[in-house]
Amino acid sequence: MKKCVFAAAILMLGVSSALPAYAQMSNDIVKLGVLDDMSGPYADIQGPGDVVAVKMAVEDFGGKVNGKPIEVVSADLQNKADVGLAIARRWYDNENVDVILGLGHSGVALAVQGITQEKNRVSITTSAGSTLLTGKQCSPLGMHWVYDTYALAKGTASAVIARGNGDKWFFLTADYAFGHALEQDTSAIVKQKGGTVVGTVRAPLNSSDFSSFLLQAQSSKAQVIGLANAGADTINAIKNASDFGIMSGGQKMAGLLVLLTDIHTLGLKTAQGLLFTEAFYWDQNDETRAFSKRFAERHGGKPPTMFQAGIYSAAMHYLKAVKEAGTDEAKAVVATMKKLPVNDFMTKNGSVRDDGRMMRDMYLMEAKKPADSKSTWDLMNVVATIPADQAFRPLSESECPLIKK
């Protein structure tokens, strides 16, 4: 009898050792953290709407993965790298958060992505734009999901120059990592297309008055004033420029990161004709309209921005990878995310490259004329589709140390 028990124990040991090394969920729960600007200049385009989108993804997935519950937590990064990093460390070290999404400030996104390998956790940046995330500061456990400053620059600057009388640029830049990257990437495209940069001025994040900065841009005689900022800063800059008669005086404004809610706040009378690059528009097709209707019902009637649509996409793909891998262990999940294609209402046949860049098509957009708008949120036209391999920096030019040359 003892021999039979011993033999059975040996057999069970052999079976268990043959199972996948990570076939389990840490702490019997999969926890997603949304770390974003919840109250500052970017709150309207990411923030609370991002939380709504991630909770929708969890519900649509069924609330559990491989029998284990899924939980969502959120926090305000306050657009401060030290604050965001402190929250991330606490979540990773003490609160069993498996993945942090959003990260709507490039300084915070870079700091958080920088500790993913140390903590063996995952970060998916959906709101911040710096190309450093997949460049010099790439991480094997970090991904950049929706867009980046290279894609914005490539789409918008190329279109503005192609339309003529847009060769001389002046930049009004948000003075932190995102703004610097957007200015640098756009300047490179302008020069590549034969244009020149005649000046630049940097403004503090969350500035309420852009008068002095715009006067410098106006006096530069530049044909195009490139706004390397976002959210409330972009809105205030365009409003101030309209008050000064900059556009009526013949200078163009190029919004390098403009979203649906920005156009809505500005109004089409002010925004009409503005060219910009986006990753998503709610009214593109039946799938985007269906998702946007569901989202708007939970978010005060507002359709999603590309960030809010994108964070749903990222959360859903993460959960699919956890299910496929049979674990929430970071390395196994990221490897599976890079193996699985990305297909959802927002992205078709997307993929995650070795540098963490999620490859998807981008869209050149134009704000409608007031007379062409049929409803409150009918604000934009898709002017052109920019294929993923043309929108994003090619791997051959990558500075990511993970990429073998």
Cross-strand bridge partners of residue 172: 201, 227
Separation between Cα atoms, residue 106 and residue 187, nearest integer Å: 19
Q: What mean pLDDT value characterizes the chain?
A: 93
Average pLDDT over residues 305-330: 98
Name, in order, each residue with C-beta under 8 angstroms of 35's C-beta and a sequence gap of 6 or more: 74, 75, 77, 84, 87, 88, 91, 100, 101, 102, 103, 108, 112
Separation between Cα atoms, residue 158 and residue 224, nearest integer Å: 12
pLDDT (0 to 100) of residue 11: 41
Average pLDDT over residues 60-76: 97
Residue 347 and residue 318 share a domain: yes
Indicate whether 7 belongs to any domain: no
pLDDT (0 to 100) of residue 208: 85
Residue 377 and residue 336 share a domain: no
pLDDT for 214 beyond 60: yes
pLDDT for 23 beyond 70: no
At 346, list the tokens.
Answer: 């927002």
At 221, list the tokens.
Answer: 């005689």
pLDDT for 301 beyond 90: yes
Separation between Cα atoms, residue 147 and residue 311, nearest integer Å: 12
Average pLDDT over residues 40-68: 96
Which of 334, 352, 370 corresponds to the end of one domain?
352
pLDDT for 19 beyond 70: no
pLDDT for 3 beyond 70: no
Give the Å distances, CA to CA, from 252 to 210, 230, 381.
16, 17, 19
Query: Which runs of E-coded beta strand occur in 67-141?
Result: 68-76, 99-102, 122-125
Global pTM reads 0.90
Residue 217 and residue 307 share a domain: no
Indicate whether 399 belongs to any domain: no
Residue 95 and residue 33 share a domain: yes
Residue 120 and residue 57 share a domain: yes
Average pLDDT over residues 221-230: 95
- E strand or H helix at 203: strand 196-203
Average pLDDT over residues 174-189: 95
CB-CB contact of 309 with 280 (8 Å): yes
pLDDT grade for 322, boundaries at 50, 70 and 90: very high
Domain range holding 162? 150-278+362-385
- E strand or H helix at 88: helix 81-94
Indicate whether 246 belongs to any domain: yes
Average pLDDT over residues 31-49: 96
pLDDT for 17 beyond 90: no
Average pLDDT over residues 30-53: 96
pLDDT (0 to 100) of residue 248: 87
380 φ, ψ (degrees, to nearest 5): -135, 155
Residue 165 and residue 304 share a domain: no
pLDDT grade for 404, boundaries at 50, 70 and 90: confident
pLDDT for 172 beyond 80: yes
pLDDT (0 to 100) of residue 254: 92
Residue 135 and residue 46 share a domain: yes
Q: What is the pLDDT of residues 111-170, one digit of tens each?
A: 999 999 999 999 999 999 999 999 999 999 999 999 999 999 999 999 999 988 899 999
